[in-house]
Amino acid sequence: MVRGSTVLHLKGAGGVSKALLDIIVCPLSKQPLRLCQETQYLISDEIGVSFPVVDGIPCLVPKDGRILDEKDNMRLDKSTKEPITDNNMNKG
Amino acid sequence: MAMRRSVATLIRNFRNVVPRSDLFLHSHATSFGFKEVREEEKSKLVGNVFSSVASSYDIMNDLMSGGLHRLWKHRLVSKLHPFPGMKHLDVAGGTGDVAFRILESIKSVRYRDVQGVLDGFGETQIYVCDINPNMLSVGKNRAIEKGLGDEQSLVWIEGDAEALSFNDLSMDGYTIAFGIRNVTHMEKALAEAYRVLKRGGRFLCLELSHVEAPLFKQIYDYYSFAVIPAMGELVAGDRESYQYLVESIRRFPNQETFAQMMADTGFEKVEYENLVGGVVAIHSGVKL
């Protein structure tokens, strides 16, 4: 039982646990959110919006969402489905 | 006597000013206490109220209700019948009052009866959702003071009751205590509650409601309009926020109307319990 609990509470740095990511969704599209490891933002890929995590508290109020622009390094590269970083930005 | 006359005048004047059609709405224009405001403005105005009152919220609750709010919340939690392993959502619960009580209730059940039988249930998770970050900060700090700072079961989320960020059919329980009258579109909040609840999940709403008994109503009106804003000014340094509070209670649908709204959303076994003659009501329903 104790082993099970540890697995559920593995946290990404900044305090968003895997268990939480499984249950929360984008408040606008109701689709799952992706945690961007570098910036610790929660990304709603379907609509291209990011939500901040402040002091370990995910801020998922619709008006807190920030629209990702094309060059945003939190976007997914459409062909490889990997986050766009400085290294691969010009290839996508 | 003078107060009663002026309260009656206040209400009469208000009725003359507001067109009848507006009394049936929960969209387009909306109420901020006795003022009419554009919808877009309400959430900002409410936000300002709660940012202002956050730090003295708990003290004021104790003062205004003479400590009774603790009993009311205790009653709410006992009606919920919390169980270990449950996934529960407390909306507009920023300072954590209800969440802490639910957690304590579950912990006492666990150790008393079901030691060793819990493996199949998964971890208890109580999500505290509030639209106001100041209220959530107060809640997080209170958790730390109570020694619950590292408690894995408590999860704090900033979110909007009208657009919840939880999956469909994910919650065993949903509570909203003294929060729903601050929501701009109550029907949306009810619909979202219905969406996130699992089948068999329970919805519970604790809210200030309507008093009908004649003499008691007058005493209550006097207390509301004369005493509470003055208390707000003395203790929290903010008369206007507490004026908003007492006005918003009068504008909230009465017990029967709110029960009907719940039924219209799809909840079944809708019932309500009046406490203190209707000063407070607990509405409950089940998603079947």
Query: B152-168 pLDDT, tens per residue?
Result: 899 999 999 999 999 99
- Tell me the C-alpha distance between A65 and B189, whole Å: 20
Kindly state the helix (H) or strand (E) to which residue B231 belongs, with its residue range.
helix B228-231
- Tell me the C-alpha distance between B17 and B237, whole Å: 30
Kindly state the helix (H) or strand (E) to which residue B259 belongs, with its residue range.
helix B255-265
Q: Which of residues 57-96 of B touch A (CB under 8 A)?
A: 87
pLDDT, residue B112, reads 53
Percent of chain B clearing pLDDT 90 (strictly above): 59
Q: Is residue B100 part of a domain?
A: yes
**Distance between A73 CA and the closest CA of chain B, angstroms:** 24
Nearest CA in chain A to B88: A23
Q: Is residue B146 part of a domain?
A: yes
CATH 2.20.25.10 fits A18-67, yes or no: yes
Give the residue, A67 or B111, on which the prediction is more confident. Answer: A67
pLDDT, residue B21, reads 39
C-alpha distance from residue B202 to each of A57, B91, B120, B271 (Å)? 26, 13, 21, 12
ipTM above 0.85, yes or no: no
Instruction: Determine the residue among B158, B168, B184 to mutate to test chain A binding: the one whose Cβ has the most chain A Cβ atoms within 10 Å.
Output: B158
pLDDT, residue A4, reads 45
Helices (H), A1-92: 2-8, 18-23
Kindly report the CATH number assigned to the domain that includes residue B282.
3.40.50.150
3-state secondary structure of B19: coil
pLDDT, residue B110, reads 58
Domain boundaries, chain A: 18-67
Q: Label residue B79 by pLDDT band (50, 70, 90).
A: very high
- Tell me the C-alpha distance between B243 and B233, whole Å: 10
Contact B125 A19 (CB under 8 A): yes
Nearest to A23 among B136, B163, B166 (CB): B166
Structure tokens at B122: 């998964």
Is the minimum CB–CB distance between B140 and chain A shorter than 8 Å?
yes
Count the neighbouring beta carbons within 10 Å of the beta carbon of residue B34: 18
pLDDT, residue B111, reads 56
Report yes or no: B246 and B229 within 8 Å, Cβ to Cβ: yes
Q: Is residue B37 part of a domain?
A: no
Q: Label residue B113 by pLDDT band (50, 70, 90).
A: low
Nearest to A60 among B123, B125, B158 (CB): B158
Q: Is residue B101 part of a domain?
A: yes
pLDDT, residue B30, reads 81
Q: Is residue B222 part of a domain?
A: no
pLDDT tens digits for B184-202? 999 999 999 999 999 999 9
Q: Is residue B54 part of a domain?
A: no
Tell me the mean pLDDT in the region B245-270: 94
3-state secondary structure of B211: coil
Torsion, Cα of B21, B26, B29, B32 (10° steps): 110
Contact B123 A5 (CB under 8 A): yes
Q: Is residue B236 part of a domain?
A: no
- Tell me the C-alpha distance between B99 and B107, whole Å: 12
Residue of A24, A60, A13, A14 lying closest to B87 (CA atoms): A24
Tell me the mean pLDDT in the region B116-133: 79
Q: Label residue B117 by pLDDT band (50, 70, 90).
A: low
Domain that holds residue B74: 59-210+252-286
pLDDT, residue B77, reads 96
Q: Is the dihedral of CA B130, B133, B137, B138 positive or negative?
A: negative
Q: Is residue B64 part of a domain?
A: yes
Task: Give the number of domains in chain B.
Answer: 1
Nearest to A1 among B119, B164, B170 (CB): B119
Residue A45 exposure: Cα atoms within 13 Å on the Cβ side: 15
Q: Which residues of A touch B87 (CB under 8 A)?
A: 23
DSSP state of B21: G
Q: Residue A15 pLDDT more than 80? A: no
